[in-house]
Amino acid sequence: MTQSFAERRARLMGPNVPTFYETPVHLVRGEGAWLWDASGKRYLDCYNNVAHVGHCHPHVVQAIATQAATLNTHTRYYHDLVLDYIERLTATLNHGISQAIMVCTGSEANDLALRMAQAVTGKTGIIATDNTYHGNTAAVSQLSTRRPPIGGRAPNVRLVPAPDVLRPLGGSLAAQPQAFADNVAAAIAELEAAGFGFSGIMLCPVFANEGLLPPEKGFLDPTVAVVRRDGGLILCDEVQPGFGRVGSHFWGHDALGFAPDVVTIGKPMANGHPVAACLARPDVMAAFREAFGYFNTFGGNPVSAAACLATLDVIEGEGLQSRAAETSAYLMDRLRALRHPLIADVRTAGMFFGVEFVQGDLPATAFVAELVEDMVARGFILNRIGRGANTLKMRPPMVFGIAEADLLADALQAALSTR
Amino acid sequence: MTQSFAERRARLMGPNVPTFYETPVHLVRGEGAWLWDASGKRYLDCYNNVAHVGHCHPHVVQAIATQAATLNTHTRYYHDLVLDYIERLTATLNHGISQAIMVCTGSEANDLALRMAQAVTGKTGIIATDNTYHGNTAAVSQLSTRRPPIGGRAPNVRLVPAPDVLRPLGGSLAAQPQAFADNVAAAIAELEAAGFGFSGIMLCPVFANEGLLPPEKGFLDPTVAVVRRDGGLILCDEVQPGFGRVGSHFWGHDALGFAPDVVTIGKPMANGHPVAACLARPDVMAAFREAFGYFNTFGGNPVSAAACLATLDVIEGEGLQSRAAETSAYLMDRLRALRHPLIADVRTAGMFFGVEFVQGDLPATAFVAELVEDMVARGFILNRIGRGANTLKMRPPMVFGIAEADLLADALQAALSTR
């Protein structure tokens, strides 16, 4: 059946369409932190941040169903819910960020953020790290490090070395913040020399796709100083760390203690309903609205707004940010207690965990690939990240608790003990 | 209340965020072809194609509610519904188009279509008309004719004069098809000379945003011949004409009788749920998947697929395509019978109507703007299009029938009689 499913999928979606796992999982049902496949097998979801407040949370489902039965239009008509949501969401943000453009995907949000930096500065040069992913529009995918696009890489993009826990920039963890900033300064100089000028830097405050960097207060201060000195904007991609996931704070950038100019959000925002947003200070928004026309038909529609509001209700009502902090501390103790000779580092950013494996000086890429397949066979959905794809990535729904943490840690130790 | 709403909206969404109408409508409920505002006033929706099968259609609402309560993940896991949908949707398409990438907005679909043309041809030059709109990503918005973006217009874009009913290219309606094609050929030559080469042309088969061109079999044949001769792709934006709206056919391009290489769809696809798609032949899809990595987290998720399937159910089950043809014929008779000295043309593409007003040789822009406001005050939601914004645009939900057509035509005649 799985084989014929793969064939049917290739026939209808084309070749090379990514799946997770050598034997892809065929899911049919979800509830809380649990997923079920077509054969009835149950999986603990240790990976999906989209179902932020738990798969199929009834409060969010009800909000979607009720609003979909009442009205679903767009923001060229007045509607209360989108404004109620922006007001409530921006109340969680500091640094004067009080306005939003509602869109449908994190990619659309980051595509807008790039233009906001252009609008404020009048420049087009943009910086990101050399091992990141911020989305899939033609413009945003230029910040990724995949194969070069047709027509070549955009000349206004500079990629700086991503920070790393085991191989820190500048040779030590203490030297890394300044070393990262120095590389940014060099990239700015290149963009200025090439005539593009410098519009800003886009980054994830916990460097999630780069392999996960535990949030450390002040880590980005030297970088922010360089960006401010040279007149650029800080475009902060909070798609992964945001909405309480880092545990200590509601937003990743507040865990690091810096002030972004633009914040983008997506995946977890409405527990899976396709909605995202680009948030900014009024001065940035005004510059954007002056320089560019923009309207998004589906963005901020009443159903999306209702789903967003309901997701915030659950985050607050069920105390999911503090739960993330508690589960994180508990699971980190369990992960640090894992015994295997290839484990090189165990790290966390709240409800986001990385376990890095190395063989000598090399990333244990194949080892982690096999470990992931083994864990999936054991009923645990997780994956891997990092430059060498040698770091186990666990980023479960926020309803993940002590009981689930124990199940995951026990299974990991069992899988590691066989290797 | 409305004034304070406008202030609150500007405070939370920023300045210059577009609304419809001088006195924006504050909607709270929708059902079928009807909308209600916060004061209880009822409006006949003669405009919104997003609510394709009628506002809040219970079959679509139920499908969304049921699937949202069951599972909502992404296509890196296997799930049946997205394949069921692509199979059923592509069965409506001819010309070998049998595969899809599911995304969230028409803008994302067109952003992909541009890259498909690049992948097939290895070139980047692209053509659109000079009075169009295909979406809002940084790349796609380069095809629009708004203010130039920061950094200047993309040099690989050429805009050709849009066809027009009253001021046909080449001086006559008979000469227009070849004249349009000649301009495309000249633009291709420019792109080749500039070193970009020619990747394709993106167009709406009924030129909806350009002012609406009634579909005429063979109209684009000379253009298609030129594009084929020079190795480019036809990227057909079916966001507005698709899903039976043209009445005579399920797709706009089939009403004109040409074979596109890529078809993009969006707004009406799931009756307002944020979903869209880029459809292509297997050879085009394979070239794209070879040249570009692409994954869309929300695109084709189980809830979106369920909403899409349910929308197809209703289109077929309620015979909405044939209803569009019948209502179109009836309403066109009523519109042609409207009496006012400024009416210059009345035209249709199925459930899509344009009434153009001119004053001497000039577009009656202010007249139509006032007429729109008057109609909204009378309880009819509609708007205007075209280079001069002097064409009344009526593009109602597909459940619009004879009774609704009479209400609209009566109100239009009443409004015109006062002017």
- Cβ-based neighbour number of residue B147 at 10 Å: 10
Chain B CB within 8 Å of residue A298 CB:
yes
Where does chain A hold its CATH 3.90.1150.10 domain(s)? 2-53+318-417
Cα separation of A284 and B196, whole Å?
34
Residues of B in contact with A111 (CB under 8 A): 137-138
- Distance in Å, alpha carbon of A360 to nearest chain B alpha carbon: 32
Strands A198-203, A125-129: pairing is parallel
Strands A198-203, A233-237: pairing is parallel
CATH number assigned to the domain covering A2-53+318-417 = 3.90.1150.10
CB A127 within 8 A of CB A200: yes
Q: Which of A39, A150, A239, A283 best tests the B interface by mutation, with the highest count of B CBs <10 A?
A: A150
**Cα–Cα–Cα angle for B191, B195, B196, nearest 5°?**
60
**Contacts for A201 with CB less than 8 Å, ≥ 6 apart:** A126, A127, A128, A184, A223, A227, A232, A233, A234, A235
* Among B115, B120, B136, B137, CA closest to B293: B115
Q: What is the model's pLDDT at position B115?
A: 97
Cα separation of B173 and B284, whole Å?
34
Chain B CB within 8 Å of residue A35 CB:
yes
**Contacts for A254 with CB less than 8 Å, ≥ 6 apart:** A94
CB B322 within 8 A of CB B288: no
Summarize the confidence of residues A183-207 as an average pLDDT.
98
Cα separation of A84 and A97, whole Å?
16
Residues of B in contact with A126 (CB under 8 A): none
Chain B CB within 8 Å of residue A70 CB:
yes
pLDDT in tens, B370-407: 999 999 999 999 999 999 999 999 999 999 999 999 99
Spell out the CATH class of B2-53+319-417. alpha beta
Cα separation of B253 and B238, whole Å?
8
CB A107 within 8 A of CB A275: no
Cα separation of A315 and A60, whole Å?
11
Bridge partners for A40 per DSSP: none
Q: What is the model's pLDDT at position A151?
A: 81
pLDDT of residue A2 exceeding 70: no
Band (pLDDT 50/70/90 cuts) for residue A385 is very high
- Cβ-based neighbour number of residue B414 at 10 Å: 12
* Among B397, B41, B407, B209, CA closest to A295: B209
CB A265 within 8 A of CB A109: yes
- Identity of the residue in A78, A103, A147 whose CB atom sits nearest the CB atom of B5: A78
Q: What is the model's pLDDT at position B152?
A: 85
- Identity of the residue in B27, B136, B147 whose CB atom sits nearest the CB atom of A296: B136
Cross-chain residue pair B16–A290, CB shorter than 8 Å:
yes
Where does chain B hold its CATH 3.40.640.10 domain(s)? 58-317
Bridge partners for A385 per DSSP: A391
Q: Which of A78, A156, A196 best tests the B interface by mutation, with the highest count of B CBs <10 A?
A: A78
pLDDT in tens, A139-149: 999 998 777 88
pLDDT of residue B194 exceeding 80: yes
Chain A CB within 8 Å of residue B104 CB:
yes
Please tell us whether the domain made up of B58-317 is placed in CATH 3.40.640.10: yes
Does the pTM surpass 0.90? The reply is yes
**Contacts for B216 with CB less than 8 Å, ≥ 6 apart:** B256
Q: What is the model's pLDDT at position B150?
A: 86
pLDDT in tens, B234-270: 999 999 999 999 999 999 999 999 999 999 999 999 9
Chain A CB within 8 Å of residue B155 CB:
no
For tokens 């991609």, the residue is A237
pLDDT of residue A239 exceeding 90: yes
Strands B353-359, B391-394: pairing is antiparallel
Compute chain A's Rg from CA coordinates. 21
Q: Which residue of B has its CA nearest to A239?
A: B297
What φ, ψ does residue A167 adopt, rounded to 5°? -125, 70
Bridge partners for B384 per DSSP: B392
Beta strand segments in A155-293, E: 157-160, 198-203, 233-237, 262-265, 276-280
Q: Which of B137, B153, B311 best tests the A interface by mutation, with the highest count of A CBs <10 A?
A: B137
**Percentage of residues of chain A with pLDDT beyond 90:** 96
What φ, ψ does residue A147 adopt, rounded to 5°? -55, 150
- Identity of the residue in B29, B50, B298 whose CB atom sits nearest the CB atom of A74: B50
CB A116 within 8 A of CB A262: yes
Cα separation of A188 and B412, whole Å?
59
Q: ipTM, 2 decimals?
A: 0.97
| Mean of pLDDT over chain A | 97
Bridge partners for B347 per DSSP: B354
**Cα–Cα–Cα angle for A92, A97, A103, nearest 5°?**
85
CB A240 within 8 A of CB A49: yes
Cα separation of A101 and A323, whole Å?
30
Summarize the confidence of residues B19-43 as an average pLDDT.
97
Chain A CB within 8 Å of residue B92 CB:
no
DSSP notation for B320-372: HHHHHHHHHHHHHHHHHT---TTEEEEEESSS-EEEEEEETTEE-HHHHHHHH
CB A47 within 8 A of CB A394: yes
CB B272 within 8 A of CB B51: yes
Strands B353-359, B362-363: pairing is antiparallel
Bridge partners for A379 per DSSP: none
Which letter does DSSP use for residue A71 in this model?
A: -
Band (pLDDT 50/70/90 cuts) for residue A150 is confident
Chain A CB within 8 Å of residue B339 CB:
no
A345-381 b/e (C-beta count within 10 Å ≥ 16 → b): bbbbbbbbbbbbbbeeeebbbebbbebbebbbeeebb
- Cβ-based neighbour number of residue A419 at 10 Å: 12
Q: Which residue of B has its CA nearest to A285?
A: B14
Handedness of CA A365, A370, A375, A381 (dihedral sign): positive
**Contacts for A7 with CB less than 8 Å, ≥ 6 apart:** none
Where does chain B hold its CATH 3.90.1150.10 domain(s)? 2-53+319-417
Cα separation of A198 and A118, whole Å?
9
Which letter does DSSP use for residue B48 in this model?
A: -
Cross-chain residue pair A68–B72, CB shorter than 8 Å:
no
The three-state secondary structure class of A99 is strand
pLDDT in tens, B109-153: 999 999 999 999 999 999 999 999 999 999 999 998 777 888 888
pLDDT of residue B26 exceeding 60: yes
**Contacts for A288 with CB less than 8 Å, ≥ 6 apart:** A112, A115, A116, A119, A120, A280, A294, B14
Cross-chain residue pair A50–B74, CB shorter than 8 Å:
yes
Chain A CB within 8 Å of residue B63 CB:
no
Q: Which residue of B has its CA nearest to A119?
A: B150
Q: What is the model's pLDDT at position A249?
A: 98
CB A219 within 8 A of CB A252: no
Band (pLDDT 50/70/90 cuts) for residue B3 is low
Q: Which of A81, A88, A107 best tests the B interface by mutation, with the highest count of B CBs <10 A?
A: A107
Cα separation of A270 and A130, whole Å?
30
pLDDT of residue A1 exceeding 90: no
**Percentage of residues of chain B with pLDDT beyond 70:** 99
Report the half-sphere exposure of B146 (CA within 13 A, side-chain side).
18
Cα separation of B301 and B298, whole Å?
6
Chain A CB within 8 Å of residue B275 CB:
yes
CA distances from B70 to A27, A236, B84 (A): 10, 33, 17
Q: What is the model's pLDDT at position B127?
A: 98
For tokens 């203490």, the residue is A174
pLDDT of residue B2 exceeding 60: no
CB B242 within 8 A of CB B265: yes
pLDDT in tens, A18-38: 899 999 999 999 999 999 999
What region does A239 belong to: left with phi over 0, alpha with psi -120 to 50, or beta? alpha
| Six-digit token string for B291 | 């040249």
Summarize the confidence of residues B195-216 as an average pLDDT.
97
DSSP notation for B220-286: THHHHHHHHHTT-EEEEE-TTTTTTTTSSSSSHHHHHT---SEEEE-GGGGTTSS-EEEEE-HHHHH
* Among A107, A47, A79, A30, CA closest to A309: A79
Q: What is the model's pLDDT at position B151?
A: 81
Residues of B in contact with A139 (CB under 8 A): 137-139
- Distance in Å, alpha carbon of A170 to nearest chain B alpha carbon: 32
